Amino acid sequence: MRATLIQLRVDDTEDAAARRRRAADLVRARAGDDLVVLPEGWAAGAWNHATWPRDAEPLDGPTARAMSGAARDAAVWLHAGTIVERAPDGTLYNTALVFGPDGGLRAHYRKIHRYGFDTGEAALMGAGERVVTVPTGSGPIGLATCYDLRFPELFRALLDAGARFLVVPAAWPAGRLEHLRLFVRTRAVEEQCFVLACVAVGEHGGVRQAGHSMVVDPWGTVLAEAGEDEEVLTAVIDPSEVDRIRSELPVLRDRVLGIAAPRR
C-alpha cells in the first residue's frame, strides 16, 4: 500500500478557491498511489473562526466537488481532510470527507471532540456523534481529527469497529508539536494499527501550524516524517504487519472490559 500525506501550507494570503485548485493539482499528481491524505480545515482555515460562517459549505459543496474530481482523475482513495460543513439545519461541523477511486463520497466524519473549551470550535460548531470506519481494499480505515488524538476512548471504539489504519488530519499548533508526536505513536502502539497523521503548515488565524506529518506502524516505529514546510510525504505500508504484530504481542486479547469505577 502506497500512502501519501500532502502537508499543505495554509496561510492568510491564499483564498479558499485558490487552495482548492492547488490541492486538487497535488492530488492529481499522485496517480499510482493507493491513499492520499490532506490536513484538517485546509480550505477555510482551521483557525480562521471569524470566516467560518462565510466559508461553510454543504457535503456536496465546492471543496467536495474539487476533491471528488481529483480522486477520480488520480484513481486514488482520498481522505480530503476536513471542511467547515453547514448542515441542512444550519449547524456547523468540522467534517472529514473520504472519496473512493471513482470519485464517490464513501464516508464523512463529523469531529466528535471540539477544541477550544469555551471558544472557537467548541463554541461555534456542533459535535459529531458517530464513530466512522471506511472499508478499502487494504483494510478498514478509522477516522479521527486532530484534537480527537487526546481521547483514547474514540480510538478503542475505532479498533472495535475493525480499523487497521487510523487516519488523522490535523491543524496542530506548533507549540505543542511534542504532544502530537507522543499521541500519534501512542495510538499506533495502543491499537496496534498504522496511524497516518497529516498536519498543516503555515500560519493562519494567528496560529502557526506544527507540520511534521507522520506515518507510524503498529509497533510505534515512525516510517516517515515531514518537516515544517509544505511537503509531499510518501510511505510504503505492508498491511500484513497489523496481523503480525498483533500475533507477536497479543495484548489486545487481554483487554478487560466493563471495569466499574470504585464506589466513593
pTM to 2 decimal places: 0.96
* 146, 191, 225, 241: the active-site residue: 146
pLDDT (0 to 100) of residue 174: 98
- Stretches in the chain below the pLDDT threshold 70: none
**Residue 51 phi, psi dihedral angles, 5° rounding:** -95, 0
Q: How many other C-beta atoms lie within 10 A of the C-beta of residue 261?
A: 5
According to the model, what pLDDT value does residue 106 have? 98
Render pLDDT for 187-229 as a digit per residue (tens, 0 to 9): 999 999 999 999 999 999 999 999 999 999 999 999 999 999 9
The pLDDT, as a whole number, for residue 75 is: 98
Orientation angle between helical segments 62-74 and 16-28, nearest 10 degrees? 10
Q: What is the pLDDT of residue 257?
A: 84
Identify the pLDDT of residue 177: 98
Q: Is 146 a catalytic residue?
A: yes
- What pLDDT, on the 0 to 100 scale, is given for residue 85? 98
Q: Which 3 state secondary structure label does DSSP give 22?
A: helix
Rounded Cα distance, 180 and 214, in Å: 10
Cell of 192: 496496534
8 Å CB contact between 166 and 194: yes
Among this protein's residues, is 190 annotated catalytic?
no
Catalytic residue, candidates 57, 111, 193, 241: 111
SS3 162: coil
Domain residue extents for the chain = 2-249
Instruction: Identify the pLDDT of residue 3.
Output: 98
68 neighbors 99 (Cβ within 8 angstroms)? yes
Q: Which of 40, 121, 190, 241 is catalytic?
A: 40
Residue 58: the pLDDT is 98
Q: What's the confidence (pLDDT) of residue 261?
A: 73
Q: How far is CA 93 from CA 5, 34, 72, 81, in A?
A: 23, 28, 25, 13
One of 2.130.10.30, 3.60.110.10, 3.40.710.10, 3.30.70.1140 is the CATH number of 2-249, namely 3.60.110.10
